[in-house]
Amino acid sequence: MIRDDFVLRLIRQAARSVARALGLARQQEQPEAFATLEDAARGQVGLALSVADVLPADQVLALLSGTEGLDVGRAAAFAALLGARATIAQDQGDLERFRISGVRALELWAGAVEAGLPTDDTDVGARMDALAQALGPAQLAPQVLAALATYAARQGRLADAEDWLGVMLDRCQPGAVEQARAFYGRLLSRPEAELEAGGLTRDEVRQGLASLT
C-alpha cells in the first residue's frame, strides 16, 4: 500500500531542488543548475540522472522498484528532476537532450501514475503537462497520454483531461474510446460547480459523450 505522506514528502523535496535549479538556470548558471539536479537525484532517489539516458523506461522503473512493487515516490521525484533537466536543456537550445530527458521523464511519471501516484498537494501533474505540451503529442507514448488524461482528471483539471483524451482519440489509440466514455460518464453525475471549476460545462460533457457514439 502506498504511503501518501512519505511519497509526497519525497516529491516536495524534489520540487524544492527543481525550484533551486530553475532559479540558477534563470541566472545563467546552467552548470550549477544541472549539478543541483544531479545531486538531488543521487541523494534523494539514489540514482544518477544519467541512468535515464542509457536505459529504457521499464528498466529504470525496475531500478526504482522493491519487493512490494514500484516505489512511487522515488519514481515521481526522479521524473520531476529529469523533467527540470529537460526544461533547462530546452532553454539552452539543446533540443536533443531536451527530447531524451523529457520523453523519459514522462514515461517514468506515467509509470508512477499507473502505480497509484497521489494527486494531493503536488504540482507534478501540471509540470508534466507543460513538458508534454512542449515536446508535442507525436513524441508521447500511448501510456504517457493515458497517464496525462488520468492524472488531470484526478486533480480536477477536467478540460486538460479532455484535451489529452482528444489526442488519444485522434490517434485512434487502443482503449481511448473506453477511457473517454468512462471519463464523461463519471462527469455526468458531478455538480455543475465542480465541472465549471475544472473548465467544462454539463453541455460540453454531454456533447463529448455523444461524439463517441
pLDDT at 120: 62
Residues 97 and 128 in one domain: yes
Residues 35 and 68 in one domain: yes
SS3 66: strand
Residues 117 and 197 in one domain: no
pLDDT at 1 > cutoff 50? no
In a domain, 43, yes or no: yes
Residues 146 and 158 sit within 8 Å (Cβ to Cβ):
no
Residues 94 and 170 in one domain: no
pLDDT at 122: 58
In percent, the amount of the chain with pLDDT more than 70 equals 97
Q: Which residues contact 190 (CB under 8 A, 6 or more apart)?
A: none
In a domain, 149, yes or no: no
In a domain, 147, yes or no: no
Residues 208 and 165 in one domain: yes
Q: Quick count: other Cβ atoms within 10 Å of Cβ 26?
A: 12
Q: Which residue in 159, 60, 141, 73 sits closest to 113, CA to CA?
A: 73
| Listed residues 88, 104, 139: the one ending a domain | 139
| Listed residues 107, 139, 171: the one ending a domain | 139
Residues 90 and 14 in one domain: yes
Q: How far apart are CA 46 and CA 88, in angstroms?
A: 22
SS3 133: helix
pLDDT at 204: 95
Q: Which residue in 75, 85, 160, 87 sits closest to 118, CA to CA?
A: 75
Residues 71 and 173 in one domain: no
pLDDT at 128: 87
In a domain, 146, yes or no: no
Residues 108 and 172 in one domain: no
How many domains are there within the chain?
2
Q: For every residue of 16-63, which 3-state class applies, written as one string? A: HHHHHHHHHHHCCCHHHHHHHHHHHHHHHHCCCCCHHHHCCHHHHHHH
pLDDT by residue (tens digit) across 173-189? 999 999 999 999 999 99
Residues 42 and 70 in one domain: yes
Task: Give the global pTM.
Answer: 0.86
Task: With residue 119 as reference, give the H or E element that holds it.
Answer: none
pLDDT by residue (tens digit) across 125-151? 778 888 999 999 888 999 999 999 998
pLDDT by residue (tens digit) across 45-97? 999 999 999 999 999 999 999 888 999 999 999 999 999 999 999 999 999 99
In a domain, 19, yes or no: yes
In a domain, 189, yes or no: yes
Residues 98 and 177 in one domain: no
pLDDT band at 118 (very low <50, low <70, confident <90, very high): confident
Q: How far apart are CA 130 and CA 151, in angstroms?
A: 13
Residues 68 and 20 in one domain: yes
In a domain, 132, yes or no: yes
Residues 126 and 70 in one domain: yes
Q: Which residues contact 199 (CB under 8 A, 6 or more apart)?
A: 157, 158, 159, 160
- For residue 94, CA distances in Å to 15, 75, 190 come to 23, 25, 44
Domain that holds residue 196: 156-213
Q: Quick count: other Cβ atoms within 10 Å of Cβ 140?
A: 24
In a domain, 209, yes or no: yes
| Listed residues 139, 169, 190: the one ending a domain | 139
